[in-house]
A and B are shown apart, each in its own frame.
Chain A
Protein backbone atom coordinates (compact mmCIF):
# COMPACT_ATOMS: atom_id res chain seq x y z
CA UNK A 1 0.00 0.00 0.00
CA UNK A 2 1.25 3.47 -0.81
CA UNK A 3 0.74 5.51 2.34
CA UNK A 4 1.09 8.81 0.51
CA UNK A 5 -1.39 7.86 -2.24
CA UNK A 6 -3.82 6.68 0.44
CA UNK A 7 -3.44 9.99 2.22
CA UNK A 8 -4.08 11.82 -1.08
CA UNK A 9 -7.25 9.87 -1.85
CA UNK A 10 -8.57 10.16 1.70
CA UNK A 11 -9.01 13.87 0.92
CA UNK A 12 -11.65 12.96 -1.68
CA UNK A 13 -14.94 12.54 0.17
CA UNK A 14 -18.61 13.21 -0.46
CA UNK A 15 -19.73 16.15 1.64
CA UNK A 16 -23.15 16.00 3.31
CA UNK A 17 -24.34 18.72 0.94
CA UNK A 18 -23.15 16.76 -2.09
CA UNK A 19 -24.82 13.62 -0.78
CA UNK A 20 -28.16 15.39 -0.41
CA UNK A 21 -27.78 17.04 -3.80
CA UNK A 22 -27.13 13.69 -5.48
CA UNK A 23 -30.04 11.97 -3.74
CA UNK A 24 -32.38 14.79 -4.73
CA UNK A 25 -31.42 14.49 -8.37
CA UNK A 26 -31.65 10.70 -8.33
CA UNK A 27 -35.12 10.87 -6.78
CA UNK A 28 -36.21 13.43 -9.37
CA UNK A 29 -35.00 11.11 -12.11
CA UNK A 30 -36.82 8.13 -10.59
CA UNK A 31 -40.10 10.10 -10.40
CA UNK A 32 -39.94 10.68 -14.15
CA UNK A 33 -39.41 6.95 -14.76
CA UNK A 34 -42.42 5.94 -12.66
CA UNK A 35 -44.80 7.88 -14.90
CA UNK A 36 -43.93 5.49 -17.76
CA UNK A 37 -44.33 2.30 -15.77
CA UNK A 38 -47.95 1.77 -16.86
CA UNK A 39 -46.48 0.57 -20.20
CA UNK A 40 -44.65 -2.15 -18.34
CA UNK A 41 -47.94 -3.74 -17.25
CA UNK A 42 -48.58 -4.47 -20.91
CA UNK A 43 -45.05 -5.77 -21.34
CA UNK A 44 -45.48 -7.98 -18.27
CA UNK A 45 -48.69 -9.43 -19.69
CA UNK A 46 -46.94 -10.14 -23.01
CA UNK A 47 -44.04 -11.77 -21.17
CA UNK A 48 -46.36 -14.07 -19.28
CA UNK A 49 -48.07 -15.14 -22.52
CA UNK A 50 -44.67 -15.89 -24.10
CA UNK A 51 -43.54 -17.75 -20.97
CA UNK A 52 -46.67 -19.95 -20.95
CA UNK A 53 -46.38 -20.58 -24.69
CA UNK A 54 -42.72 -21.46 -24.19
CA UNK A 55 -43.58 -24.02 -21.52
CA UNK A 56 -46.23 -25.65 -23.70
CA UNK A 57 -43.97 -25.84 -26.77
CA UNK A 58 -41.03 -27.11 -24.72
CA UNK A 59 -43.07 -29.90 -23.18
CA UNK A 60 -44.51 -30.81 -26.57
CA UNK A 61 -41.02 -31.22 -28.03
CA UNK A 62 -39.29 -32.68 -25.02
CA UNK A 63 -40.86 -35.50 -23.07
CA UNK A 64 -39.64 -35.73 -19.50
CA UNK A 65 -36.26 -37.44 -19.31
CA UNK A 66 -33.99 -37.84 -16.31
CA UNK A 67 -31.51 -34.99 -16.08
CA UNK A 68 -27.91 -36.00 -16.46
CA UNK A 69 -27.04 -33.75 -13.58
CA UNK A 70 -29.84 -32.38 -11.37
CA UNK A 71 -27.86 -29.43 -10.07
CA UNK A 72 -28.88 -26.07 -11.53
CA UNK A 73 -26.01 -24.10 -13.00
CA UNK A 74 -25.37 -20.78 -11.33
CA UNK A 75 -23.50 -18.85 -13.99
CA UNK A 76 -20.50 -16.92 -12.87
CA UNK A 77 -20.01 -13.44 -14.28
CA UNK A 78 -16.60 -14.34 -15.75
CA UNK A 79 -15.78 -17.90 -16.62
CA UNK A 80 -12.63 -19.42 -17.96
CA UNK A 81 -13.36 -22.17 -20.49
CA UNK A 82 -11.04 -25.12 -21.07
CA UNK A 83 -11.36 -25.12 -24.88
CA UNK A 84 -12.66 -23.06 -27.77
CA UNK A 85 -15.46 -25.58 -28.19
CA UNK A 86 -16.51 -25.06 -24.56
CA UNK A 87 -16.44 -21.28 -25.09
CA UNK A 88 -18.69 -21.61 -28.15
CA UNK A 89 -21.08 -23.85 -26.26
CA UNK A 90 -21.22 -21.34 -23.41
CA UNK A 91 -21.78 -18.36 -25.70
CA UNK A 92 -24.27 -19.99 -28.05
CA UNK A 93 -22.62 -18.56 -31.16
CA UNK A 94 -19.59 -19.56 -33.22
CA UNK A 95 -16.24 -18.05 -32.29
CA UNK A 96 -13.52 -17.85 -34.92
CA UNK A 97 -10.74 -20.37 -34.39
CA UNK A 98 -7.87 -17.91 -34.40
CA UNK A 99 -5.53 -20.59 -33.03
CA UNK A 100 -4.82 -21.57 -36.63
CA UNK A 101 -3.25 -18.15 -37.25
CA UNK A 102 -0.47 -18.60 -34.70
CA UNK A 103 2.48 -20.95 -34.27
CA UNK A 104 2.15 -24.09 -32.17
CA UNK A 105 4.21 -22.49 -29.40
CA UNK A 106 1.54 -19.83 -28.81
CA UNK A 107 -0.61 -20.18 -25.70
CA UNK A 108 -4.36 -19.59 -25.61
CA UNK A 109 -6.84 -18.74 -22.89
CA UNK A 110 -10.62 -18.80 -23.39
CA UNK A 111 -13.05 -16.76 -21.30
CA UNK A 112 -16.60 -15.49 -21.37
CA UNK A 113 -17.83 -12.34 -19.64
CA UNK A 114 -21.40 -12.47 -18.34
CA UNK A 115 -22.24 -14.80 -21.27
CA UNK A 116 -22.11 -11.69 -23.44
CA UNK A 117 -18.50 -11.40 -24.58
CA UNK A 118 -16.37 -14.27 -25.86
CA UNK A 119 -12.65 -13.71 -25.41
CA UNK A 120 -9.55 -15.52 -26.65
CA UNK A 121 -6.20 -14.35 -25.30
CA UNK A 122 -3.14 -15.33 -27.32
CA UNK A 123 0.35 -15.20 -25.85
CA UNK A 124 2.79 -15.52 -28.72
CA UNK A 125 6.21 -14.93 -27.17
CA UNK A 126 6.19 -11.35 -25.93
CA UNK A 127 3.16 -10.42 -28.01
CA UNK A 128 -0.25 -10.57 -26.37
CA UNK A 129 -3.39 -10.41 -28.49
CA UNK A 130 -6.87 -10.29 -26.96
CA UNK A 131 -9.67 -11.18 -29.41
CA UNK A 132 -13.28 -10.47 -28.40
CA UNK A 133 -16.61 -11.15 -30.02
CA UNK A 134 -20.16 -10.32 -28.94
CA UNK A 135 -23.59 -9.81 -30.42
CA UNK A 136 -24.50 -6.22 -31.20
CA UNK A 137 -22.49 -3.17 -32.19
CA UNK A 138 -20.86 -1.85 -29.01
CA UNK A 139 -17.19 -1.25 -28.44
CA UNK A 140 -16.26 -4.36 -26.44
CA UNK A 141 -12.50 -3.77 -26.32
CA UNK A 142 -12.63 -2.66 -22.68
CA UNK A 143 -10.06 -0.02 -23.63
CA UNK A 144 -11.29 3.54 -23.08
CA UNK A 145 -8.02 5.37 -23.62
CA UNK A 146 -7.95 8.28 -26.03
CA UNK A 147 -5.37 7.46 -28.69
CA UNK A 148 -3.45 9.97 -30.74
CA UNK A 149 -4.42 8.32 -34.01
CA UNK A 150 -7.72 6.74 -35.04
CA UNK A 151 -7.87 5.47 -38.57
CA UNK A 152 -10.49 3.58 -40.55
CA UNK A 153 -9.24 0.90 -42.90
CA UNK A 154 -11.55 -0.69 -45.49
CA UNK A 155 -10.84 -4.27 -46.42
CA UNK A 156 -13.00 -6.91 -48.03
CA UNK A 157 -16.20 -4.97 -47.37
CA UNK A 158 -15.43 -4.42 -43.68
CA UNK A 159 -14.39 -1.19 -41.95
CA UNK A 160 -11.70 -1.64 -39.30
CA UNK A 161 -11.26 1.19 -36.81
CA UNK A 162 -7.61 1.16 -35.73
CA UNK A 163 -6.41 3.15 -32.72
CA UNK A 164 -2.84 3.76 -31.69
CA UNK A 165 -0.05 6.26 -31.41
CA UNK A 166 0.64 6.56 -35.13
CA UNK A 167 3.60 4.18 -35.24
CA UNK A 168 1.70 1.20 -33.86
CA UNK A 169 -1.89 0.05 -33.52
CA UNK A 170 -3.18 -0.97 -30.09
CA UNK A 171 -6.93 -1.48 -30.58
CA UNK A 172 -8.96 -2.60 -33.60
CA UNK A 173 -12.76 -2.57 -33.75
CA UNK A 174 -15.08 -3.86 -36.45
CA UNK A 175 -18.52 -5.26 -37.07
CA UNK A 176 -19.57 -8.13 -39.26
CA UNK A 177 -23.19 -9.16 -39.60
CA UNK A 178 -24.84 -9.15 -36.18
CA UNK A 179 -21.55 -9.32 -34.26
CA UNK A 180 -19.04 -6.82 -32.99
CA UNK A 181 -15.34 -7.59 -32.69
CA UNK A 182 -12.31 -6.15 -30.93
CA UNK A 183 -8.59 -6.83 -30.93
CA UNK A 184 -6.28 -5.48 -28.22
CA UNK A 185 -2.55 -5.71 -28.90
CA UNK A 186 0.15 -5.48 -26.23
CA UNK A 187 2.58 -4.15 -27.27
CA UNK A 188 1.07 -2.33 -30.22
CA UNK A 189 1.81 -3.72 -33.67
CA UNK A 190 2.61 -2.13 -37.01
CA UNK A 191 -0.45 -1.24 -39.06
CA UNK A 192 0.52 -3.56 -41.91
CA UNK A 193 0.81 -6.54 -39.55
CA UNK A 194 -2.48 -5.68 -37.86
CA UNK A 195 -4.26 -5.33 -41.20
CA UNK A 196 -2.93 -8.70 -42.32
CA UNK A 197 -4.10 -10.31 -39.06
CA UNK A 198 -7.57 -8.77 -39.42
CA UNK A 199 -7.85 -10.07 -42.99
CA UNK A 200 -6.92 -13.56 -41.77
CA UNK A 201 -9.58 -13.38 -39.05
CA UNK A 202 -12.13 -12.17 -41.62
CA UNK A 203 -11.30 -15.17 -43.78
CA UNK A 204 -12.09 -17.45 -40.82
CA UNK A 205 -15.55 -15.89 -40.48
CA UNK A 206 -16.58 -17.09 -43.94
Chain B
Protein backbone atom coordinates (compact mmCIF):
# COMPACT_ATOMS: atom_id res chain seq x y z
CA UNK B 1 0.00 0.00 0.00
CA UNK B 2 2.72 2.35 1.01
CA UNK B 3 4.49 1.66 -2.23
CA UNK B 4 1.44 2.60 -4.25
CA UNK B 5 0.80 5.86 -2.49
CA UNK B 6 4.48 6.69 -2.84
CA UNK B 7 4.35 6.17 -6.56
CA UNK B 8 1.12 8.02 -7.04
CA UNK B 9 2.34 11.10 -5.20
CA UNK B 10 5.54 11.27 -7.19
CA UNK B 11 3.84 10.79 -10.51
CA UNK B 12 1.52 13.62 -9.59
CA UNK B 13 4.49 15.95 -9.59
CA UNK B 14 5.51 15.17 -13.15
CA UNK B 15 8.74 16.04 -14.93
CA UNK B 16 9.89 19.59 -14.13
CA UNK B 17 10.85 22.45 -16.33
CA UNK B 18 14.46 23.55 -15.82
CA UNK B 19 15.23 27.22 -16.27
CA UNK B 20 18.87 28.27 -16.53
CA UNK B 21 19.22 32.00 -16.66
CA UNK B 22 22.39 34.06 -17.19
CA UNK B 23 24.67 31.53 -15.50
CA UNK B 24 28.31 32.44 -14.98
CA UNK B 25 30.93 30.43 -13.13
CA UNK B 26 34.41 31.63 -12.25
CA UNK B 27 37.00 29.65 -10.29
CA UNK B 28 39.69 31.36 -8.24
CA UNK B 29 40.08 35.10 -8.07
CA UNK B 30 42.36 37.90 -9.10
CA UNK B 31 44.90 36.96 -11.74
CA UNK B 32 44.25 33.26 -11.23
CA UNK B 33 40.57 33.54 -12.08
CA UNK B 34 39.39 30.98 -14.62
CA UNK B 35 36.04 31.48 -16.23
CA UNK B 36 34.39 28.10 -16.75
CA UNK B 37 30.87 29.01 -17.83
CA UNK B 38 29.83 32.23 -19.46
CA UNK B 39 26.27 33.59 -19.70
CA UNK B 40 24.45 30.37 -20.40
CA UNK B 41 20.71 30.66 -20.86
CA UNK B 42 18.68 27.54 -21.47
CA UNK B 43 15.22 26.16 -20.78
CA UNK B 44 14.73 22.40 -20.59
CA UNK B 45 11.12 21.53 -21.49
CA UNK B 46 9.36 19.21 -19.04
CA UNK B 47 9.79 15.59 -20.14
CA UNK B 48 12.37 16.39 -22.80
CA UNK B 49 15.83 14.91 -23.24
CA UNK B 50 18.62 17.38 -23.94
CA UNK B 51 22.20 16.49 -24.83
CA UNK B 52 25.17 18.75 -24.15
CA UNK B 53 28.17 18.24 -26.41
CA UNK B 54 31.38 20.22 -26.56
CA UNK B 55 35.13 19.93 -26.38
CA UNK B 56 36.75 18.30 -23.33
CA UNK B 57 37.07 20.54 -20.33
CA UNK B 58 34.75 23.18 -21.76
CA UNK B 59 32.55 23.44 -18.69
CA UNK B 60 29.68 21.06 -19.60
CA UNK B 61 30.13 19.10 -16.37
CA UNK B 62 30.33 22.30 -14.34
CA UNK B 63 26.98 23.35 -15.72
CA UNK B 64 25.50 19.97 -14.86
CA UNK B 65 26.92 20.12 -11.31
CA UNK B 66 25.37 23.54 -10.82
CA UNK B 67 21.96 22.19 -11.89
CA UNK B 68 22.46 19.33 -9.40
CA UNK B 69 23.12 21.86 -6.66
CA UNK B 70 26.67 20.54 -6.12
CA UNK B 71 28.19 23.88 -7.01
CA UNK B 72 26.92 27.40 -6.79
CA UNK B 73 26.91 29.66 -9.80
CA UNK B 74 28.97 32.83 -9.51
CA UNK B 75 25.95 34.66 -10.87
CA UNK B 76 22.66 33.83 -12.49
CA UNK B 77 19.72 31.68 -11.50
CA UNK B 78 18.72 28.05 -11.88
CA UNK B 79 15.16 26.90 -11.14
CA UNK B 80 13.90 23.35 -11.31
CA UNK B 81 10.10 23.35 -11.45
CA UNK B 82 10.34 26.80 -9.89
CA UNK B 83 12.52 25.64 -6.98
CA UNK B 84 16.18 26.05 -6.12
CA UNK B 85 18.38 23.07 -7.03
CA UNK B 86 19.37 22.19 -3.47
CA UNK B 87 15.71 22.13 -2.38
CA UNK B 88 14.90 19.72 -5.18
CA UNK B 89 17.97 17.65 -4.27
CA UNK B 90 16.90 17.41 -0.65
CA UNK B 91 13.49 16.10 -1.71
CA UNK B 92 15.26 13.37 -3.73
CA UNK B 93 13.62 14.55 -6.92
CA UNK B 94 16.77 14.73 -9.01
CA UNK B 95 19.23 11.96 -9.75
CA UNK B 96 22.80 12.20 -10.98
CA UNK B 97 25.06 9.69 -12.74
CA UNK B 98 28.73 10.64 -12.80
CA UNK B 99 31.57 9.88 -15.19
CA UNK B 100 33.07 7.82 -12.38
CA UNK B 101 30.67 5.08 -11.31
CA UNK B 102 31.36 6.09 -7.68
CA UNK B 103 29.87 2.96 -6.16
CA UNK B 104 30.61 2.21 -2.51
CA UNK B 105 33.20 -0.58 -2.69
CA UNK B 106 31.94 -2.26 0.48
CA UNK B 107 28.36 -2.71 -0.78
CA UNK B 108 27.07 -5.23 -3.29
CA UNK B 109 25.63 -4.14 -6.64
CA UNK B 110 22.06 -4.57 -5.37
CA UNK B 111 22.79 -2.79 -2.12
CA UNK B 112 24.39 0.11 -3.99
CA UNK B 113 21.26 0.50 -6.09
CA UNK B 114 19.04 0.20 -3.03
CA UNK B 115 21.13 2.86 -1.27
CA UNK B 116 19.82 5.48 -3.69
CA UNK B 117 16.27 4.94 -2.43
CA UNK B 118 17.44 5.18 1.16
CA UNK B 119 19.30 8.42 0.50
CA UNK B 120 16.26 9.86 -1.25
CA UNK B 121 14.14 8.95 1.75
CA UNK B 122 12.06 6.40 -0.16
CA UNK B 123 10.76 3.03 1.08
CA UNK B 124 12.66 -0.10 0.10
CA UNK B 125 11.72 -1.67 -3.19
CA UNK B 126 13.72 -4.86 -3.92
CA UNK B 127 11.58 -5.67 -6.95
CA UNK B 128 12.42 -2.41 -8.63
CA UNK B 129 16.10 -2.82 -7.79
CA UNK B 130 16.08 -6.28 -9.34
CA UNK B 131 14.24 -5.03 -12.42
CA UNK B 132 16.75 -2.22 -12.96
CA UNK B 133 19.70 -4.54 -12.49
CA UNK B 134 18.40 -6.93 -15.11
CA UNK B 135 17.66 -4.02 -17.41
CA UNK B 136 21.34 -3.03 -17.33
CA UNK B 137 22.36 -6.67 -17.79
CA UNK B 138 23.57 -7.40 -14.28
CA UNK B 139 21.41 -10.48 -13.71
CA UNK B 140 23.34 -12.85 -11.45
CA UNK B 141 25.70 -10.14 -10.29
CA UNK B 142 23.39 -8.68 -7.65
CA UNK B 143 25.54 -9.87 -4.76
CA UNK B 144 28.94 -9.00 -6.23
CA UNK B 145 30.93 -6.07 -4.90
CA UNK B 146 32.20 -3.41 -7.32
CA UNK B 147 35.73 -4.84 -7.19
CA UNK B 148 34.37 -8.09 -8.65
CA UNK B 149 32.66 -6.31 -11.56
CA UNK B 150 34.27 -5.11 -14.78
CA UNK B 151 34.52 -1.39 -15.47
CA UNK B 152 31.52 -1.49 -17.80
CA UNK B 153 29.45 -3.45 -15.31
CA UNK B 154 30.18 -0.90 -12.60
CA UNK B 155 29.06 1.86 -14.91
CA UNK B 156 25.84 0.01 -15.66
CA UNK B 157 25.27 -0.50 -11.98
CA UNK B 158 25.66 3.26 -11.47
CA UNK B 159 23.06 3.89 -14.19
CA UNK B 160 20.67 1.48 -12.50
CA UNK B 161 21.25 3.31 -9.25
CA UNK B 162 20.48 6.60 -10.97
CA UNK B 163 17.11 5.26 -12.09
CA UNK B 164 16.24 3.67 -8.73
CA UNK B 165 14.66 6.74 -7.21
CA UNK B 166 11.49 8.25 -8.54
CA UNK B 167 13.45 11.33 -9.60
CA UNK B 168 11.80 13.46 -12.24
CA UNK B 169 15.07 15.07 -13.33
CA UNK B 170 17.97 12.93 -14.53
CA UNK B 171 21.39 14.52 -14.84
CA UNK B 172 23.71 12.15 -16.70
CA UNK B 173 27.37 13.16 -16.88
CA UNK B 174 28.98 11.01 -19.55
CA UNK B 175 27.41 7.90 -17.99
CA UNK B 176 28.41 5.50 -20.79
CA UNK B 177 32.03 6.64 -20.91
CA UNK B 178 33.50 3.40 -19.58
CA UNK B 179 30.95 1.04 -21.15
CA UNK B 180 32.06 -1.13 -24.05
CA UNK B 181 30.80 -0.22 -27.50
CA UNK B 182 28.23 -2.99 -27.89
CA UNK B 183 26.67 -2.51 -24.48
CA UNK B 184 26.71 1.20 -24.98
CA UNK B 185 24.67 0.95 -28.14
CA UNK B 186 22.22 -1.45 -26.46
CA UNK B 187 21.83 0.87 -23.46
CA UNK B 188 21.48 3.84 -25.82
CA UNK B 189 18.44 2.17 -27.32
CA UNK B 190 16.92 0.62 -24.18
CA UNK B 191 17.42 3.13 -21.40
CA UNK B 192 15.41 5.98 -22.94
CA UNK B 193 12.38 3.69 -22.77
CA UNK B 194 12.86 3.48 -19.02
CA UNK B 195 13.03 7.15 -18.35
CA UNK B 196 10.48 8.01 -20.99
CA UNK B 197 8.17 5.53 -19.23
CA UNK B 198 8.80 7.23 -15.92
CA UNK B 199 8.29 10.66 -17.35
CA UNK B 200 11.49 12.57 -16.64
CA UNK B 201 13.31 15.62 -17.80
CA UNK B 202 16.80 14.48 -18.77
CA UNK B 203 20.06 16.30 -19.33
CA UNK B 204 22.87 14.24 -20.83
CA UNK B 205 26.49 15.34 -21.12
CA UNK B 206 28.32 13.25 -23.71
CA UNK B 207 31.35 13.15 -25.97
CA UNK B 208 29.60 11.06 -28.56
CA UNK B 209 27.73 13.00 -31.20
CA UNK B 210 25.96 9.84 -32.38
CA UNK B 211 24.78 9.14 -28.87
CA UNK B 212 23.61 12.71 -28.46
CA UNK B 213 21.50 12.53 -31.61
CA UNK B 214 20.21 9.04 -30.83
CA UNK B 215 19.02 9.86 -27.32
CA UNK B 216 17.85 13.42 -27.29
CA UNK B 217 15.18 15.78 -28.49
CA UNK B 218 17.64 18.61 -28.71
CA UNK B 219 21.42 18.91 -28.85
CA UNK B 220 23.16 21.90 -27.32
CA UNK B 221 26.66 22.48 -28.67
CA UNK B 222 28.95 24.24 -26.22
CA UNK B 223 31.98 26.27 -27.21
CA UNK B 224 35.49 25.95 -25.85
CA UNK B 225 36.04 27.38 -22.35
CA UNK B 226 34.47 29.53 -21.07
CA UNK B 227 31.47 27.45 -22.12
CA UNK B 228 28.67 29.19 -23.87
CA UNK B 229 26.03 27.89 -26.23
CA UNK B 230 27.26 27.97 -29.81
CA UNK B 231 24.47 25.97 -31.42
CA UNK B 232 21.04 24.64 -30.44
CA UNK B 233 19.85 21.88 -32.76
CA UNK B 234 16.42 20.24 -32.39
CA UNK B 235 16.32 16.49 -33.15
CA UNK B 236 12.99 15.68 -34.74
CA UNK B 237 13.50 11.95 -35.40
CA UNK B 238 10.42 10.03 -34.25
CA UNK B 239 10.45 7.94 -31.07
CA UNK B 240 11.03 5.23 -30.11
CA UNK B 241 14.41 5.42 -31.76
CA UNK B 242 15.77 2.23 -33.35
CA UNK B 243 19.12 0.97 -34.59
CA UNK B 244 17.88 1.51 -38.12
CA UNK B 245 17.77 5.24 -37.47
CA UNK B 246 21.52 5.31 -37.25
CA UNK B 247 21.88 4.90 -41.01
CA UNK B 248 19.00 7.14 -42.06
CA UNK B 249 20.02 10.19 -44.15
CA UNK B 250 18.23 12.44 -41.65
CA UNK B 251 20.45 11.09 -38.84
CA UNK B 252 23.65 11.43 -40.83
CA UNK B 253 22.77 15.01 -41.72
CA UNK B 254 22.22 15.91 -38.08
CA UNK B 255 25.52 14.34 -37.02
CA UNK B 256 27.33 16.26 -39.74
CA UNK B 257 25.56 19.46 -38.73
CA UNK B 258 26.65 19.05 -35.08
CA UNK B 259 30.20 18.15 -36.00
CA UNK B 260 30.35 21.27 -38.13
CA UNK B 261 29.10 23.31 -35.18
CA UNK B 262 31.92 21.75 -33.16
CA UNK B 263 34.34 22.93 -35.82
CA UNK B 264 35.03 19.50 -37.26
CA UNK B 265 34.40 18.57 -40.88
CA UNK B 266 33.95 14.81 -41.33
CA UNK B 267 33.97 12.25 -44.03
CA UNK B 268 30.24 11.76 -44.49
CA UNK B 269 30.24 7.99 -43.96
CA UNK B 270 32.21 8.04 -40.74
CA UNK B 271 29.29 8.08 -38.28
CA UNK B 272 28.31 4.58 -39.50
CA UNK B 273 31.45 3.15 -37.96
CA UNK B 274 30.46 4.22 -34.51
CA UNK B 275 29.91 7.25 -32.36
CA UNK B 276 32.14 10.12 -33.19
CA UNK B 277 34.23 11.02 -30.20
CA UNK B 278 35.08 14.67 -29.98
CA UNK B 279 38.86 14.90 -29.76
CA UNK B 280 40.53 16.66 -26.88
CA UNK B 281 40.76 20.34 -27.68
CA UNK B 282 42.95 22.35 -25.40
A binds B: no
